[in-house]
Structure 1
Amino acid sequence: MSTKHFSPLQDLTAFSQKYGLAFVMVASYFGSGSVFIASQAGVMHGYTLLWAVVGAAFLGFIAQDMSARLGIHGESLMVFTREKLGRPLATTIAVFLSIGCIAWTLGLVAAVGAGISFLLGGAVAWQPIAVLTTFAAIGVGLLHYDTVENVMIGMMFSLMVIYVIVALPSGADPSSVATGFVPGTDTLGALAMAAGLLGTTALWPNFFLESILVHTKGWTSESDLSKARTDLAIGYAVGGITTIVILIAAAALLRPMGFTELESFITPGEAMVEVLGTWAMVLFIGGVIAAAFNSIIPIMWTPAYIIPQAAGYTVQKGDRLFNVLFAALTGIGIFSPLVSWWLDLSVVDMVILFPMYNGIFALPVAATLLLWAVNDREMMGEYCNTSALNAVNALLVILAVILAALSIQDFIELITGGGF
């Protein structure tokens, strides 16, 4: 009796043939913004916001599930928006939302540049590296979908392992950690950061992408929904665990050392050197670089899909229109150094504030559209939302609106006042 042995590459290929789409979604949200918002949350508020990480991952999962059902049983979210609101208004919404994607990219290429600059000992400034990163992201984003998906799967599992290794020797007190998974009175003083965690986890571009990309996996009928849900559960578990361990590491290591905020891009890595050694810093910064670069591609796929769809064009990845839009809009990333200088924002300011911008301005719009779409009888027929799913989706919309209303003033003060 013979036993078949598979190489890791074969195992990855087999996994990605069945699953994998969720890892594109999770790679989209888990960028340098997630790393630094989680670190900042741990430094500023200890374990207080662990509940927000879990809640955001759960809401993200539910939203993606609805987006998957929309794509399987109806149309993509932006096609629905165009059909209901007409081309001019749908196009306006698509362009407005795409501004958030570009803002994300400006922060992400800066994060990659700063990380590589640090690992090079400052021999090269982050600004030229950010420009080169922009061109690299364009090149990778234009590759075949299956290739990009395999990269995302491998990188997300690797990032989870990296940050678990860093967090394990942090000395976090288990009972103190446990209290952070329950909202308390301290939560009221951390709403802006909670908005950032929600905005970087329940990522609005994914509401559109999932409904578009389900067909690339061959998920086209009700019988395929269980595969989509299993895929989402695996992906969001990996992303959620990774975010949690980063927050715990920051709260356990940096907060006791007297840090009250992230003073620079490399603060978490520098602090970890003192406690854990150089290896922790290299892993931390290397993980930030990989996470930031991963995020650029799916985030910038979104405008390349939704702007043509809003205008009434059918577009597929690899089409000339898609490629031109993706390259042109991603290319705006070369202006990241100018934006940093003009707004007087550090790299860490950009990677925290630009996802926060999306959580405040774009998430309520996208979440409202998704709630409308999955309840549209004409579109969904018998597959409309149940009352339970409506309650959860309504919670996402209400939470997004409330957090936006409560945190918009803080955000404006931070963005106009030179950051944190």
Structure 2
Amino acid sequence: MRAAQGFAALRARADLVLLGPAFVAAIAYVDPGNVATNVTAGAEHGYLLVWVIVAANLMAGLVQYLSAKLGLVTGKSLPEAVRDQMPRPVRLGYWLQAEAVAIATDLAEVIGGAVALRLLFDLPLVMGGLITGCVSMLLLAVQDRRGQAPFERVVVGLLLVIAVGFFASLVVAPPSASGAVSGLVPRFDGTDSVLLAAAMLGATVMPHAIYLHSALARDRHGRPTGDRKRPILVATRVDVGLAMLLAGSVNLAMLLGAASALGGMAGVDTLEGAHAGLGQVLGPTVAMFFAVGLLASGLASTSVGCYAGAVIMQGLLRIRIPLLVRRLVTLVPALGLLAAGVEPTWALVLSQVVLSFGVPFALVPLVVLTARRKVMGLDVNGRLTTVLASGATAAIVLLNAVLIGLVLTGTS
């Protein structure tokens, strides 16, 4: 009996050790872009877009598992696998759009950190952006010098801080259960709601996280074979499921909290306005939790985003740039926008729309490659998996097409 219990405990610890890569990728799903889009959606449209968060997180779970599976089965990251299928001119064009996505990602994360530091310490935005960049360099140095496992632990710790920060408002002001349920019915209310839905989708099913997870899983577990492969694939599904459940819950808490506390208020369609509104309605402690959650989100996600950019460049172009050098280069556009006085929340929302347009370029190759027996062998996607992944990709492309049509025609 004791031997069986001891074996079960060892097995549980072994399974726990296998978890981690998906939680690093999940940081991309709770970055400042998510905060801006979800809070804006809740404040302006109440519970209307709850269904977008639920659908986007279900899509994200499937996509992240496929990305991790590709890395584990082939021993290649998604950018490396794409590189092998493309001639050089096409590959360069593909890299340019992926790089634009990476820059948009970094823009959102640095701006979010800067806004949080201004809310907490009244620092100028440019100084806050610099501090966010410097702290992210320290986090990247942990990954560069001590390996992936310590980096994962730091990121998971920040993810828990983010969760506490955004669940605080729900404890003080619980949302309407009937309103949340009604928000599960897919619908829009004018061009602005479509714009926000596209931004929420881009902030949840993030392209750089799709590229990155394949590398994270491969670098953590190598390319398992034989009897070792199946347990790792099962553990990866658990890893993705738990990470997406946590990230999805945090995203939902952001929207529900804004709908409950800020709905109908004027001037709460920015991060600063939302912070002030929460302080006015729920008190300074809840407002402080909001700002701390935003800061943890910015610090963690900008590190993960920079890591993803390096994976993309190395995979597509075979060019390796030190992470700290890349951190300095990608920090410049965000600092430039902050110095120019661009409204931070609007910049965040627009950056997420850019990410939404980049999603198909990551999703289509992922679905195609994981559906090829020549690439995946016995671990090729089943027919149902391919249908679901293809449907998710089609839905994202359709939403973007509707957004373009509404914006160009000026329909409201």
Q: Tell me which interval the TM-score lies in, with the shorter structure as reference length.
A: 0.7 to 0.9
Aligned to 1:367: 363
Aligned to 1:28: 28
Asked whether 1:42 is paired with 2:50, we answer no
CA, structure 1 residues 267+15, in 2 after alignment: closer, same or farther (shift >3 Å)?
farther
Distance 1:77 1:186 in 2: 37
Aligned to 1:270: 276
Aligned to 2:4: none
Gaps of 5+ in 1: 1-12, 314-320, 415-420
Asked whether 1:98 is paired with 2:99, we answer yes
CA, structure 1 residues 332+217, in 2 after alignment: closer, same or farther (shift >3 Å)?
closer
* Matched position secondary structure for 2:290: helix
Aligned to 1:292: 298
CA, structure 1 residues 411+196, in 2 after alignment: closer, same or farther (shift >3 Å)?
farther
Residues 336-375 of structure 1: pairs in structure 2 closer than 5 A = 336-340=334-338, 345-360=342-357, 362-375=358-371
CA, structure 1 residues 336+76, in 2 after alignment: closer, same or farther (shift >3 Å)?
closer
Q: CA deviation at 1:92?
A: 2.7
Gaps of 5+ in 2: 1-12
TM-score normalised by length of structure 2: 0.87
CA, structure 1 residues 156+15, in 2 after alignment: closer, same or farther (shift >3 Å)?
farther
Deviations 1:75-128 (A, max 9, x none): 3211221111133322331232112111221232122112112222x3x31112
Query: Is the contact between residue 275 and residue 291 of structure 2 (CA under 8 Å) also seen in structure 1?
Result: yes
CA, structure 1 residues 270+410, in 2 after alignment: closer, same or farther (shift >3 Å)?
farther
Query: Is the contact between residue 159 and residue 296 of structure 2 (CA under 8 Å) also seen in structure 1?
Result: no
Distance 2:288 2:100 in 1: 33
Distance 1:26 1:128 in 2: 27
CA, structure 1 residues 163+69, in 2 after alignment: closer, same or farther (shift >3 Å)?
same
Asked whether 1:82 is paired with 2:79, we answer no
Asked whether 1:381 is paired with 2:380, we answer no
Query: Is the contact between residue 51 and residue 183 of structure 1 (CA under 8 Å) also seen in structure 2?
Result: yes
Aligned to 2:317: 311
* Matched position secondary structure for 1:345: coil
Distance 2:16 2:300 in 1: 17
Q: CA deviation at 1:157?
A: 2.1
Aligned to 1:4: none
Aligned to 2:218: 215
Query: Is the contact between residue 16 and residue 149 of structure 1 (CA under 8 Å) also seen in structure 2?
Result: no
Letter in 2 for 1:39: V
Distance 1:207 1:119 in 2: 32
Deviations 1:3-31 (A, max 9, x none): xxxxxxxxxx9886231111101112211
Query: Is the contact between residue 101 and residue 208 of structure 2 (CA under 8 Å) also seen in structure 1?
Result: no
Letter in 1 for 2:336: L
Letter in 2 for 1:130: G
TM-score normalised by length of structure 1: 0.86
Distance 1:160 1:333 in 2: 26
Distance 2:333 2:53 in 1: 31
Deviations 1:55-94 (A, max 9, x none): 1111001001111211121232112211111333223312
Q: CA deviation at 1:347?
A: 0.9
Query: Is the contact between residue 113 and residue 129 of structure 2 (CA under 8 Å) also seen in structure 1?
Result: yes
Letter in 2 for 1:141: L
Distance 2:119 2:235 in 1: 41
Percent identity of paired positions between Structure 1 and Structure 2: 21
Distance 1:193 1:298 in 2: 24
CA RMSD, 1 decimal: 2.5
CA, structure 1 residues 128+161, in 2 after alignment: closer, same or farther (shift >3 Å)?
closer
Q: CA deviation at 1:171?
A: 4.2
Query: Is the contact between residue 360 and residue 397 of structure 2 (CA under 8 Å) also seen in structure 1?
Result: yes
* Equivalent of 1:182 in 166, 185, 200: 185
Distance 1:330 1:232 in 2: 31
Distance 2:126 2:404 in 1: 29
In the comparison of the two structures, how many residue pairs are matched?
389
Letter in 2 for 1:346: E
Deviations 1:256-291 (A, max 9, x none): 3345x51x3311111111121100111101111111
Distance 1:79 1:69 in 2: 14
Distance 2:215 2:408 in 1: 33
Distance 2:300 2:54 in 1: 22
Asked whether 1:168 is paired with 2:171, we answer yes
Distance 2:409 2:32 in 1: 22
Letter in 2 for 1:238: L
Query: Is the contact between residue 192 and residue 410 of structure 1 (CA under 8 Å) also seen in structure 2?
Result: no
Letter in 2 for 1:255: G
CA, structure 1 residues 187+25, in 2 after alignment: closer, same or farther (shift >3 Å)?
farther
Aligned to 1:9: none
Query: Is the contact between residue 198 and residue 403 of structure 2 (CA under 8 Å) also seen in structure 1?
Result: yes
